[in-house]
Structures are given as C-alpha cells and as structure tokens.
Structure 1
Amino acid sequence: MEGNQLFPVFIKLNSIHTLLVGAGPVGLEKLTAILGNSPEANVTVIALEVLPGVKQLAEKHERLSILTREFDPSDLDGVDLVVAATNNDELNQQIREEADRRNLLVNFADKPDLCNFYLGSIVKKGDLKIAISTNGKSPTIAKRLKEVLNDSLPEEINDTLQNMQALRNTLNGDFAAKVKKLNAVTSSLVDGKGERTSRANLKWLIWSAIVFSFAIVVAVFWHKEPEFQTYIANLNPMFYWFLIGGFIFAMIDGAIGMSYGVTSTSFSLAMGVPPASASMGVHLSEILSNGIAGWMHYRFGNVNWKLFKLLLIPGIIGAVTGAYLLSSLEHYSNYTKPVVSLYTLILGCVILSKAYQVNRKKAVQNGKIKKISLLGLFGGFIDAVGGGGWGSIVLSSLIAGGRNARFSLGTVKITRFFIALMSSLTFITMLNGAHWEAVAGLVIGSALASPIAAKVSNKISAKTIMVSVGVLVILVSLRSIINFILKLV
C-alpha cells in the first residue's frame, strides 16, 4: 500500500520511563525535543561522553538522570521507550535486537529502517500541538513545514482554545447536542462566511474613511488657504523634494515595518517645516499608505482583532491629544522644534540598536505586555507630538514582549490608519496655515511607493536599511539641535 501508514499518537512521557542512548549533538537535539514537549518526562541518558548542554538540562530537570558508561542490554529492563542517538552501527543493531526481545518501541537517529516509531517535528501553541511526519523520508521537509505553521498560526490561537473549553464546560445535553453546538460556533473557521462579511465591512470602512478624509482635507485647504489654488499651478520646488522623500521613506517603511514617521519628520524639520506642520504632513500621507497596507494585511489574515480593539481607542485618544497640544504650540515652533529633534534623535538610536538585533533570537523571551491600552495611549500621543513613533514604540514593544511578529505588524499597520486619520483631522482643524507643498509631496510620494514597497523590500537587507536610516536620522536630528544651541549662544 502506498502513502504514509504511520498511526499518530501523543504519549504522556511523564508516566513512562524513556531511555536515551548517546549524548552527543544528535542526542542533545533528541533530548531537547523530548523535554521541550514533556518537561516532566522521566528520562535516563547513557553515554560514554556527555555534552555540557545535556548536563545543563539535567540541572533543570529533576527526572533526567545521566549514566556515563557504555550501554548494557540490562539497561532496557524496566524501560518503556527507547531513543538511540549513536553513530555506531553495531551498537544500534544490538539495541534493536534487545528491544525486540522486550517488545519495546525504539527510535534511531537517521536510521529509518531500524525505527518502529519516528519523532516528528512539533508545532506548539499553548495547549495546541501539531505533529508532522514525512514517514521518515525527509526530516528537512518536516522542519520547513514546522516553520511555516509556526509563522502562520498566531500565539492567540491558544486563547481561542481556552475559550472553546470554557464554552464546552457550560453546555448541557448529550454528546451529540454538544458537538452540534460547538460545530455551529466554529463553522466560520471553515466556511468563510463570517470572514467575508467582516472583510466587506472593513473594506467599506477603510475606503469610506479615505475618501471622507481627503474630501475634508481638500475642502479645508481650499477654504483656509486662499493661495492654495495658486500652489497647484505654480508648485514650490520644495514639493518635488518632499515627493522624492515621501517615496523613499515609504519604501524604507515597507522594508523594515517602521521609521516612516521619524525619517519624514527629521527631513521636514531639516527643511525648515515647523513641528506641527511636519507631523500633519506625515499623518496625512500615512492615511492612504496605511489604509492600503492594513487592508492587505487583513486579506492575508495578519490581524489580531483582540489586540486591534485594545490598541485602537486609546491610540486615537493619545493621538488626538498629542496633535491638539502640538498645534496649540505652533507659534512656539522655535522651542518645540529642538524637543521634537531630541525625540527623533532617540528614535534614531533605537533604530540603529535594533539593526543589530535583526535575525538574532533572544535567549529569554519576556512575558507578553499586559497593559496594551496604556501602550496604545502612549504610542498615539508620542506619535502625534513627534511626527512618528507608533511603529517604533508599539510594534517593537509587542514583538519584544513575545507576540507573533507577523500578526503584530498587521495589527499595528491597520490601527495606524485610524491613528493617522484622527491626527490629521485634528491638525487640519487646529492649524490656520501649513506648508502645503511639503504635505502634498509626502502624500503623493508615499502613495506611489505603497504598491511596490513590499516587493522591493524582499530584495534589500533589512539590517543595511536600518543602519542607514538610524545614522541619517541621528545626524539630521543632531544638526537641528546644534543649530538651536548656536542661536541661543
């Protein structure tokens, strides 16, 4: 018969005795997999040479014992499961024969013909565990599938699992009635009706908000700025500089998921644009780009809606408050400008430090951030005051707290759309005049970059971009601060 005929089972290793023969690199890998899935497993390791990593595991797990000696057939007495991680063919054959005499299941590293069970690749999300088997044909394929599933399944799926258990415990009736109810609750996961409805509603909301916001922008510009019409016919050369800048900064943001605000604000300040007008230009340009990005992330299922709800309202409150405060101080731009420059200087240092953490896994993950709403409130306020920082602050904090990077990015992008929208409306309402050529350049430049940023970002080193951005932002911010100090002197 063709195909994989293995029967998958999940074993309670804490209730049986497992023997591991071999404590080299392969033995350490096998032992790490065993204890990673069953920390309370009762395991005995037998080997002539033992790697330090194996000894370190023994210090952390009380039920792990090490015997530094040769294997003896009597070692199989009282054992329930055997894993052999040796490169000695004679020893492997001896272990298989002795195990068969005792009717023991045994696994051999890289010896599928000798095995009567395999250790598959495991995807673990809380209480959810998925085992992958290639029937011993290709462990590499199993590992790759593990990586795909680890990235695709959100950590929050365990929350859903716990909620389903709680619902199950409240159900009454016989087994068939319970199954029918649970099937009805989870039907949206497979039939897509609920997702299609939500997607249609979100699409309508985002595009309506984009059209509405730009209609307000044009109406207010036309009413408050008598010279607005002349700008269209006789554009200031600054428009072209900001058009190019907006395009480049949006491309950078597409590559590393952050820094559009800080780079745009630093550039605006260096070009002589006051902080409030600079922040307004940044947020106006982000309405369309983040609306498109957020919509695309939603289409690919990259949004954590529980996280979205926790961030959205506090983020909007913080952003509106920050925009109102900064606009009120527009007449004191000579003093607020160095403060904002100091902020962008700090963010530049943060970006530079993160450049050297790319592809570097932390040995210890911090616990997930609990006060998401406070993070959103702070991120929204700082983002409006400093012209950027929502991604640098909120996204970085979520990822550093152990949340899934892809879902965090998608959620931050879609909330960023609403943050940018409300900040922009506040700035427009508060400011009597602005550098429209700079604003228009950023808006058009970033919109042009949005559709192609993701494709280009895959071909550029994120670390190289982050280092370049960090250094550039630091230099521009220092220049602004130094000029302010020289004026005082």
Structure 2
Amino acid sequence: MRKLLLLALVGLGAQLVDGSLGMAYGVTSTTLLLALNTSAASASATVHLAEIGTTLASGAAHWRFGNVDWRVVRRVGVPGAVGAFAGATFLASLSTEFAAPVMSLILLTLGLYVLLRFTVAGLPRDRVGLPLRKRFLGPLGLVAGFVDATGGGGWGPIGTPAILASGRLEPRRVIGSIDTSEFLVAVAASVGFLVGLGAENIDFGWVAALLIGGLIAAPIAAWLVRIVPPRVLGSAVGGVIILTNTRTLLLSDWVEAGPGLRYSLYLLIVVTWVAAIGWSVRQHRAEQAADPAPADDDTPTTERATTSR
C-alpha cells in the first residue's frame, strides 16, 4: 500500500510537470520508477499504460479549448505510433542489466536538453507562419516515438520544441496537438510491451496508481502553470532528471565510480542546477518587465501589438 501511494505521488508530480510544460510526464515518471529499482522495460511499460488514460483526458481537454490541430495530430501521431511500437519491442528484448543504463543515458540526454532549452532559450512564442509539412512531421514522429518507448519518455521533449522552433504553429496548439497525438503513441507502445513482455510482467496496480495520481494532477497543473513560470519549472525539472539518472549511471556496471567521484559530480550538478534556476528566474522577471502581457496569454506578440487594449 505504501508503494502504491508513492507511485500515485509520482504520477501526480509527473502530470504537474507535463501539464505545465507540455512535456516530460514520461521522462519524469520513468526516472522516478527507475529510482525505485524497477526494470527499464517494466518502468516504460507501466508509464505508457498509465499514459493511455492521462493523454486521453489531456487530449479531450485541449480539444474542448480549441488547442488541437488535427492535421498535425494525424501527421505526427501515426508515425509516432509506429516508432513507439518498434521501440517497445526493442527495449523488451534487451537484458535488464543492459537496458537500465541505456534508458538512464537516454533520460540523462533528455534531461540535459530540457534544462538547457528552458534555461538558455525558453520557448519561442512569437513566430506563427506556414502550415507544417508531412516531410517534417513524419520523421519527427517516428524518431520521437521510438525514443519515447526506449527511453520511457521523450515524445514531448522532442516533439514540442521541434514544432515550436519551426515557428509555424502557435504555442497552445503545439502543446495541445502533441499531448493529443501522444495517446496514439501510448497505445502503440503499450501494445508493443504487452507483446514483448507479456501481461504477467506488468503490475497493473502500479499502472492504476500512476493513472490516479495523473488524473488528480491534471486540473492542478492548469492552475500551476499560472503560478510557476514554465521557464523556471523546466530548469527545475531538468535538474531532477539529470541528477537522478547520473546517479543510476555512476552505480551501474558501465561506470562503477567510487564514492569520491560520485559525490563530487553530485555537488557539481546541484550547484549548476541551482544556478540554472536562478538564471531562469532572473530571465523571467526581465521578460515580464519588457512585456507586461499576462504570462498565460498565448496570442503572438505581433498580434498583441496590433490589438488595442
């Protein structure tokens, strides 16, 4: 019962992150499951089965508020499902000793990306242009889906910034479309894990606990995003992912680092992490001073400038 409560809190925390950033539910929850000594394949399978419910609820909410571009959902979601099924069957075929450090390495890379993306650049919010093309969305979905299944997360961290950086879709529609299309990815990955692992190797009590925590957090995340700036939250979450997966790698058979090296690296990561959060706070305040528009206003800057208040 104690572990189920902890898993529910993991699901709640991961959904708070995902609902605020449009990414990182899988990365956050898989990282925490690995910290509980769950096998790599079982952790990813548990997260993706829970995501079937959380992404369905999230997609429905985004659709209700008009945040979904169904062409983007179709063009990125279908290839993403193919990539996710392939990634799930691949991960299920790896030995436990090999899979855990491989997943931690992928998660560490994604954590570095999230930390740098939000700390250094934030998310672009002022470039809306031409429609997105199939030749861009198809390969993006395929790669993001494969990484999402093998790494236990990655759909949002890869898909959301890539589409935002293209400047062809307003931010709220990017997040809504990526969250909605993730339902297809979660279903395909779950089927792949059920085929590769078998249902007997998946604890559905854990799945239910993660799902309940995520469903409770969904409305809270909508409120939290108005309180905590996404840039600051992204830096904070990136640091958690980096620290946790660095620890897993340093304790693995791949590295077997001594206590002195481990604690020195932990200290370096924490110092860098705190500095990154401080920088993000200062940058957010500077952006607020330069642009007095409300933080939750998704209207492009150029459009706001031409609209009388």
TM-score (norm 2): 0.75
One-letter code aligned to 1:349: L
Which has the larger strand fraction? Answer: 1
Question: Deviations for 1:135-161, whole angstroms, at most 9, x for unmatched residues?
Answer: xxxxxxxxxxxxxxxxxxxxxxxxxxx
Q: CA deviation at 1:295?
A: 1.1
Q: CA deviation at 1:428?
A: 2.4
Change (3 A) 1:301 1:274: same
**Do the aligned partners of 2:41 and 2:99 also contact (CA within 8 Å) in 1?**
no
Are 1:427 and 2:193 matched, yes or no? yes
**Do the aligned partners of 2:164 and 2:174 also contact (CA within 8 Å) in 1?**
yes
Q: Return the structure number with greater relative CO, CA threshold 8 A, min gap 6.
A: 2
Change (3 A) 1:359 1:430: closer
Structure 2 residue corresponding to 1:446, chosen from 196, 204, 214: 214
Q: CA deviation at 1:361?
A: 6.7
Structure 2 residue corresponding to 1:344, chosen from 104, 107, 113: 107
**Do the aligned partners of 1:281 and 1:440 also contact (CA within 8 Å) in 2?**
no
Query: 1:334 — aligned with what?
Result: 97
Structure 2 residue corresponding to 1:246, chosen from 4, 7, 11: 11
Query: 2:265 — aligned with what?
Result: none
Question: Deviations for 1:351-371, whole angstroms, at most 9, x for unmatched residues?
Answer: 1112222266789x9996642
Q: CA deviation at 1:486?
A: 5.1
- Whole-Å Cα distance in 1 between the matches of residues 194 and 208 of structure 2? 14
Query: 1:175 — aligned with what?
Result: none
**Do the aligned partners of 2:149 and 2:189 also contact (CA within 8 Å) in 1?**
yes
Are 1:355 and 2:137 matched, yes or no? no
Q: CA deviation at 1:430?
A: 2.7
Q: Which protein is bigger by CA-based radius of gyration?
A: 1
One-letter code aligned to 2:53: L
Change (3 A) 1:270 1:313: same
Alignment of 1:354-373 (within 5 A): 354-356=117-119, 357-358=121-122, 370-373=135-138
Question: Deviations for 1:316-359, whole angstroms, at most 9, x for unmatched residues?
Answer: 11111111111122xx1111110110111111111111222226
Q: CA deviation at 1:245?
A: 1.1
Are 1:306 and 2:74 matched, yes or no? no
- Whole-Å Cα distance in 1 between the matches of residues 123 and 189 of structure 2? 34
Query: 1:483 — aligned with what?
Result: 251
Q: CA deviation at 1:296?
A: 1.5
**Do the aligned partners of 2:111 and 2:242 also contact (CA within 8 Å) in 1?**
yes
The share of aligned pairs that are identical, in percent, is 34
Alignment of 1:312-331 (within 5 A): 312-329=77-94
Structure 1 residue corresponding to 2:167, chosen from 390, 402, 417: 402
Change (3 A) 1:446 1:242: same
Alignment: residue pair count: 251
**Do the aligned partners of 1:367 and 1:402 also contact (CA within 8 Å) in 2?**
no
**Do the aligned partners of 1:366 and 1:400 also contact (CA within 8 Å) in 2?**
no
Alignment of 1:152-163 (within 5 A): none
Question: Deviations for 1:409-445, whole angstroms, at most 9, x for unmatched residues?
Answer: 1111111012112211221233241344533321221
One-letter code aligned to 2:37: G
**Do the aligned partners of 1:253 and 1:259 also contact (CA within 8 Å) in 2?**
yes
- Whole-Å Cα distance in 1 between the matches of residues 85 and 24 of structure 2? 20
Structure 1 residue corresponding to 2:178, chosen from 409, 412, 432: 412
**Do the aligned partners of 1:308 and 1:411 also contact (CA within 8 Å) in 2?**
yes
Change (3 A) 1:460 1:375: same
Change (3 A) 1:413 1:456: same
**Do the aligned partners of 2:124 and 2:165 also contact (CA within 8 Å) in 1?**
no
Change (3 A) 1:360 1:300: closer
Change (3 A) 1:272 1:303: same
Query: 2:296 — aligned with what?
Result: none
Are 1:293 and 2:61 matched, yes or no? no
**Do the aligned partners of 1:326 and 1:385 also contact (CA within 8 Å) in 2?**
yes
- Whole-Å Cα distance in 1 between the matches of residues 28 and 216 of structure 2? 17
Are 1:472 and 2:240 matched, yes or no? yes
Q: CA deviation at 1:240?
A: 1.6
One-letter code aligned to 1:262: V
**Do the aligned partners of 2:145 and 2:155 also contact (CA within 8 Å) in 1?**
yes
**Do the aligned partners of 2:15 and 2:221 also contact (CA within 8 Å) in 1?**
yes
**Do the aligned partners of 1:238 and 1:437 also contact (CA within 8 Å) in 2?**
no
Which has the larger helix fraction? Answer: 2
Are 1:278 and 2:46 matched, yes or no? no
- Whole-Å Cα distance in 2 between the matches of residues 368 and 360 of structure 1? 16
SS at match of 1:458: helix
Query: 1:455 — aligned with what?
Result: 223
Q: CA deviation at 1:483?
A: 0.4
Change (3 A) 1:275 1:300: same
TM-score (norm 1): 0.48
Change (3 A) 1:393 1:439: same
- Structure 2: 5+ residue stretches without partners: 259-309
**Do the aligned partners of 1:253 and 1:260 also contact (CA within 8 Å) in 2?**
yes
